[in-house]
A = this chain, B = another copy of it.
């Protein structure tokens, strides 16, 4: 087991390289993003809500790894735009039940399409090998982000 002796996991400074990647990739994604549409954070929250069914603000905050006050603002914006609804919890009146609306689902789909337009284009310009690497890694990085 010669590779068990390695002081760092996965080659020289993998962690540092991942860190730089995160900062730069997010800046690129941010800058390429159309101003008119949903923000990345909104898309992420809406996606989680759509995927994991009705949730309370707390649950969604945990899921998105943000703090409750941040979630409050996010919810207010999404509700203002009619993308989600806010009902009071039937058994616990402290809590709320958040649901995506049809409009919200449409907006989410539109955001996905818009992302596909520029990011998908850039991905399609990669070599077959590079694209395979991206595909293989995206879920690993999500695991890394969400574990």
Contacts and interface: CB of A to CB of B under 8 A. Distances in A.
- Dominant secondary structure at the A interface: helix
A72 interface: no
Contact of A144 (B23, B44, B115, B126): B126
A89 interface: no
Which of A66, A120, A126, A138 has the most chain B CB within a 10 Å cutoff?
A138
Interface of A: 8-11, 13-29, 31, 40-41, 43-44, 47, 64-66, 112, 115-116, 119-120, 122-124, 126, 130-147
A77 to B, nearest CB: 16
Contacts of A20: 43-44, 47, 142
